[in-house]
Structure 1
């Protein structure tokens, strides 16, 4: 049996760390493509340029169009080739990171990830989630290596809307439960082997950190401040969850998230918000102890994550729509088959409705 744990070459987190960007990445290359949203470029360009002011490196800033699609990856690859760039930096959130990683992979360049929010565990992974132009899940692009560097400036992350940090908690919430399911089923991980004890310990620590510091961190960032709790949650959302999911595996929660991407009513939600509800559905599928389900639902209510279909924007759940979600969640090759028992479309359909009722009961 082969056990594998993978991670970025270096993870850097600290207050004001963006101003040290050049110091951390100068050895990677000298023609750098910086991908970010238009607003992201506006907010970070001065600091990035200041970091490079005494160097001979060239910076090319390019706006991300908003969706990690094949079309956008190809477009940005052309920008990279035109400017002869030899490093890609993704600045912003999950879809920027996944796009930057894919562009770097197809053009054989190193990639650096600079989160300005802590809304997903995408920064550290050797994985890009590809969507259609319409925002529906398409497929996973498995990459041969993790980013060279992940650099998190906590002073920037703390100033982002609190909802984004909470969405990251929703994504991180699934880490332990999906890891546990994969280990019970002896499933293969995203890293290409079986889970290590170290990776599972990280997944457990991720969940414990959420319970201990989640509410405190939310309240702090609502006032645009960074406290020890905020630092801990940023690390949990970004690094602990990233290592935990990739080196232990995904299961039902993320597959159910993928299912919900087909419903237009849920397109306003962030990835982690859908994953949080998917976690509750997974626990229902497992017939987990009620005390555990109560703990997860209570946490979600405490920080403001969805616990019902109505919270997801689905006010009147149509049988056909929920069945479609279940069918996509159970598509061939989906991570739901890492559950330690047989799962059918009907099982998922029933678990979604049961989770909705449970969430409504505790609300």
Structure 2
């Protein structure tokens, strides 16, 4: 059986680590296109200026419009045409980072990924998610290789609103359950997917045991340190529990999903983008709930569902549709989500049993009822 594991070349995490960004840029050349929202750049402006001066590099800003779209990628490619760079730096949240990966890959450049929040597991992966101008899911993009450097500054991450760290925990919570489903179905994983395009690539690969165990460690770390990390983030302080959850949200979840596999939770998340109410909620907040949908879909043990819901309750993650902006849903609306989630190329088909749109629509509605039941009685 052919298996695959992909990794970023270097992952570095620590307090004030952005002070070393210039060193990593200098390993690729003298200047870098900096992709990030203006408010994220301003938040760390002093560190960026200091590291550029210390290591003799230039960081010139390309900006970021807030959504990872094909048009935004084209705009930034034009910036590079007018002002060539030796590498690209993506700074901020997942959409800016994904955009930086696509731009760098399309131009044959190395990319340095510098997350300012730990809200999802995008930083380490060679894949990116593209959206439409209306904020709906568009497509996946697969780079030729993983990021050259991932640089996580825990001081900056601790200063961000706690909501972002919690969203990262929601994303990380899905990692084990999706990797487990993929493992049980012998499905292919992102690590084997086409490099740059879906066409012209042949042999698929399955997940490694290493990735499956990294995914399981996500789940274990969340239960052990998730609440303590939340309390650290509430006070904007770096503690070892926060360090562990930052590593869980970014590194372990990133390696776990990419080389362990995605399944129903992320496919249903992509489907959820058709519901306008969800657009005000973060990726990881929605994935927390779609993980519950996956557990209902596979008829997981009641004890396991209660464990997940108890964790959500303890830290404040979504347990119902209302918690992600959907105050009511008709069966037809649930079916519309299911239809988008069940397109042939979606990861939902990594579940270890055949999937139908009706099954998914039913699971969406029942998962909402499961969450409501837990809220009323403290257990399922």
TM class by smaller structure: over 0.9
For 2:81, what is the secondary structure of its paired residue? helix
Task: Provide the residue aligned with 2:277 in structure 1.
Answer: 265
**Match of residue 17 from structure 1:** 17
- 1:211 is displaced (CA, Å) by 0.6
Q: Secondary structure at the match of 2:253?
A: helix
For 1:103 and 1:62, how far apart are their aligned partners in 2? 11
Please list, as runs of the form range in 1=range in 2, the aligned pairs for 1:277-292 lying within 5 A after superposition: 277-292=289-304
Counterpart-to-counterpart distance in 2, 1:101 and 1:59: 16
Structure 2 matches for 1:343-362, cutoff 5 A? 343-362=355-374
Query: What is the CA–CA distance in structure 1 between the aligned matches of 2:177 and 2:82, rounded to whole Å?
Result: 44
Report the counterpart of residue 173 of structure 1 in structure 2.
Answer: 173
* CA shift for structure 1 position 29: 1.8
- Structure 2 residue aligned with 1:156: 156
Mapped partners of 1:55, 1:19: distance in 2? 10
Distance 2:107 2:364 in 1: 41
What is the RMSD of the two structures over their aligned residues, measured on CA atoms?
A: 0.9
Structure 1 equivalent of residue 327 of structure 2: 315
Q: Cα distance, 1:319 vs. partner?
A: 2.2
1:45 positional shift:
2.4
* Whole-angstrom distance in 1 between the partners of 2:55 and 2:207: 42
| Cα distance in 2, alignment partners of residues 59 and 312 from structure 1 | 37
Which residue of structure 2 lines up, in the alignment, with residue 327 of structure 1?
Answer: 339
Shift of 1:55: 4.0
Q: Distance in 2 between matches of 1:64 and 1:216?
A: 33
Q: Indicate which of 223, 229, 242 corresponds to 1:211.
A: 223
Q: Give the deviation of 1:56 after TM superposition.
A: 4.0
1:291-343 deviation line (CA, Å, top 9, x unaligned): 00111111111111111111111112122211111111111210000000001
Q: Who is 1:185 aligned against?
A: 185
Structure 2 segments unaligned to the other structure (5+ residues): 193-204, 376-380
* Structure-2-length-normalised TM-score: 0.94
SS at match of 1:230: helix
SS at match of 1:237: helix
Which has the larger displacement, 129-138 or 45-54?
A: 45-54
Per-residue CA deviation, residues 56-83 of structure 1 (Å, 9 max, x unaligned), is: 4322112200100000000011111211
> Helix, strand or coil: the match of 1:146?
coil
